[in-house]
Homo-oligomer: A and B are copies of this chain.
Amino acid sequence: MTEKKEKTTIVLFSGDMDKAIAAFIIANGAAAYDHDVTIFFTFWGLNTMRRDEVVKVKKGFLEKAFGWMMPRGAKKLGLSNMNFMGMGPKMIKHVMKKHNALTLPQLIELAQEQGVKLVACTMTMDLLGLQQEELIPGMEYAGVAGYLGDAVDAKVNLFI
């Protein structure tokens, strides 16, 4: 007899650094408890998963504009709060370093090591003109149906 694993899913809609950190801390915690964990990156949340180097891909004007305007990866995100002071993200990174807390890129790496399923929303990719080569390796690709397939078996489903 095999015991069924608990499942946890997170929709990461937000492109804010602090919310992405919260999402990955919960995801990594659940994975440590042996849950099957999925993070579904949609809308601005996809920016968290962009490579930080410029990737040469063919794009239309509007898609290029989105590419320039949106933050390029986990290191470039702003804060949902206190960002207006300019120093918000730097202060947070500073205190996280001081307390030996994992940085967002390290939290992402840990999630990948723990087998957290990282799924990019294909509809958002189409709309914003993001291509697979522009995201970090190891992502899966699905639409809302894929998300719901996971969520319906999960007890903890969060929208962040």
Interface residues of A (CB under 8 A from B): 6, 8, 11, 13-15, 18-19, 22, 25-26, 29-30, 32-33, 35, 42-44, 62-63, 65-66, 69-70, 80-82, 85, 91-92, 94-96, 98-99, 101, 123, 126-129, 144-145, 147-148, 151-160
Residues of B within 8 A of A98 (CB): 62
**Consensus secondary structure, chain A interface:** helix
| Cα distance A63–B99 in the bound complex, in angstroms | 12
| Cα distance A144–B101 in the bound complex, in angstroms | 14
| Cα distance A96–B81 in the bound complex, in angstroms | 25
Chain B nearest Cβ from A80, distance in angstroms: 8
Chain B nearest Cβ from A12, distance in angstroms: 10
Judging by beta carbons under 8 Å apart, are A22 and B42 in contact? yes
Judging by beta carbons under 8 Å apart, are A152 and B6 in contact? yes
Q: Which of B32, B80, B155 contacts A152 (CB 8 A)?
A: B155
Residues of B within 8 A of A94 (CB): 62
Q: Which of B25, B66, B126, B153 contacts A99 (CB 8 A)?
A: B126
